[in-house]
């Protein structure tokens, strides 16, 4: 790669912030909504506009790096080794309902090596920018970020309900009941990218979801490992950056406890 990773991450952060401001400044009542395949899976005109903005900014800066976004119409585009993996609005249903809890997620991935090199997640409603570079640490608004030391008994556990694939609903409910029995309480914030960022920031001790897509976790995964946490799929293997996967994450203590509950 000709460009320095820190320089690329800086541009990813600036782009995520500008993109987040577009989302923040858009009234969901003013944008069209289309249903995607699966249950209750929607895309708004704002998702598409934000993704176009991010794609344009990043390609002007780094035309040699590929681009793969949630709202790409040609899903076969993940062909280059190095690619920006982007969720323009993570938490689309929250955005549609005016629940101000959504984020822009941008990851720079070495897809061939299956690893994230840089990550930027921005929530415009709280003006919080989470970012990390591989080996360079994780930061929240410029301050170093670390996972907490809380076990499940003393922490809040985030989860996602895999809303677009209800075939796993029974499995999801059974696991939720086991996790709920162990922790202070459970939280489903409706945005996987922020769940992961909050694990990295020590606000949640753990997070899991039965099925997510690379754009949901590519950035958050690096935030967590650089903040001292663990993140894998339910088999304990590294997350797949080129196909959907299950996700479990946490600080080392809560991750181990969650893994046991998942394996039960
Ligand atoms: C969704 C959110 C949600 C999670 C879903 C994701 P989207 O992403 O992260 O929290 O439960 O599985 O697909 O569609 O809002 O970008
Ligand atoms: Ca999205």
Contacts of 8 by beta carbon, 8 Å cutoff, 6+ apart: 61, 62, 65, 108, 117, 118
Supply the residue whose CA is at minimum distance from atom 12 of ligand 1: 162
How confident is the model at residue 164, as a pLDDT?
A: 87
Closest CA to ligand 1's atom 16: 90
Best residue among 54, 190, 219 to mutate for probing ligand 1, ranked by most atoms within 8 Å of CB = 190
pLDDT at 189: 98
The predicted structure's pLDDT at residue 103: 98
Please give the Cα distance from 113 to 108 (Å, whole number).
12
**Ligand 2 ion: Cβ-proximal residues, 5 Å cutoff:** 70, 87, 89, 92
pLDDT of residue 73: 55
Phi-psi region of 202 (alpha: psi -120 to 50; beta: other; left: phi over 0): left
Q: How far apart are CA 218 and CA 201, in angstroms?
A: 17
Mean pLDDT by 10 residues, the chain (264 residues): 86 98 94 82 92 96 92 60 95 96 97 96 98 98 98 98 91 97 98 98 98 97 98 98 96 98 94
Q: Is the CB of 96 under 6 A from ligand 1?
A: no
DSSP the chain: --S-HHHHHHHHHHHHHHHHHHHHT--GGGS-EEEPSSSS-EEEHHHHHHHHHHHHHHHHH-TTSEEEETT-S-GGGTTSSEEEEEEEEE-HHHHHHT-S--EEEEEEEETTTTEEEEEEEEETTTTEEEEEETTTEEEETTEE-------GGGSEEEE---TT-GGGHHHHHHHHHHHHTTSSEEE--S-HHHHHHHHHTTSSSEEEEEEE-HHHHHHHHHHHHHTT-EEE-TTSSPPPSSS-EEEEEESHHHHHHHHHHHH-
Find all residues with CB under 8 Å of 204, minimum gap 6, and list them: 155, 156, 157, 158, 187, 195, 198
**Radius of gyration over alpha carbons of the chain, in Å?**
17
Best mutation site among 107, 214, 216 for ligand 1 pocket (most ligand atoms within 8 Å of CB): 216
Q: How far apart are the CA of 247 and the centre of ligand 2, in A?
A: 17
* Mutation probe of ligand 1 site: the residue of 123, 160, 165 with most atoms within 8 A of C-beta: 160
Ligand closest to Cα of 72 equals 2
Q: Is 58 in the pocket of ligand 1 (CB under 6 A)?
A: no
Q: Which two tokens stand for residue 74?
A: 């040609």
Residue whose C-alpha is closest to residue 214's, from 116, 79, 112, 74: 116
DSSP designation for 52? H
User: Rounded to the nearest whole angstrom, what is the distance from the C-alpha of residue 125 to the centroid of ligand 2?
Assistant: 16
247 lines ligand 1 (CB under 6 A): no
Rounded distance from Cα 213 to ligand 1 centre (Å): 9
Q: What's the whole-model pTM score?
A: 0.96
What are the Cα distances from residue 29, in Å, to 91, 98, 100, 144? Answer: 16, 9, 14, 37
Ligand nearest to the CA of 92: 1
Q: Is 94 in the pocket of ligand 1 (CB under 6 A)?
A: no
pLDDT at site 209: 98
């Amino acid at each position: 790669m000709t460009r320095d990773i820190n320089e690329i991450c800086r541009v990813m952060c600036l782009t995520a912030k500008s993109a987040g401001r577009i989302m923040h400044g858009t009234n969901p009542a003013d944008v069209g909504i289309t249903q995607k395949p699966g249950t209750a899976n929607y895309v708004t005109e704002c998702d598409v506009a934000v993704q176009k903005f991010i794609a344009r900014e990043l390609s002007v800066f780094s035309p040699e790096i590929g681009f793969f976004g949630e709202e790409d119409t040609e899903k076969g585009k993940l062909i280059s080794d190095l690619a920006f993996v982007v969720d323009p609005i993570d938490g689309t249903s929250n955005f549609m309902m005016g629940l101000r809890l959504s984020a822009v997620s941008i990851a720079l991935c070495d897809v061939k090596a299956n690893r994230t090199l840089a990550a930027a997640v921005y929530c415009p409603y709280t003006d919080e920018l989470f970012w990390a570079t591989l080996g360079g640490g994780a930061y929240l608004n410029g301050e170093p970020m670390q996972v907490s030391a809380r076990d499940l008994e003393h922490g809040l556990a985030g989860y996602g309900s895999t809303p677009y694939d209800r075939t796993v609903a029974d499995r999801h409910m059974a696991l939720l009941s086991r996790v709920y029995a162990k922790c202070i309480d459970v939280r489903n914030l409706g945005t996987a990218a922020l769940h992961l960022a909050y694990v990295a920031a020590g606000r949640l001790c753990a997070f899991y979801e039965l099925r997510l897509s690379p754009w949901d976790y590519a950035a958050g995964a690096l935030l967590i490992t650089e903040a001292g946490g663990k993140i894998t799929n339910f088999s304990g293997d590294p997350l797949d950056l080129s196909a959907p996967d299950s996700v479990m994450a946490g600080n080392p203590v809560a991750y181990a406890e969650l893994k046991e509950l998942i394996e039960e």
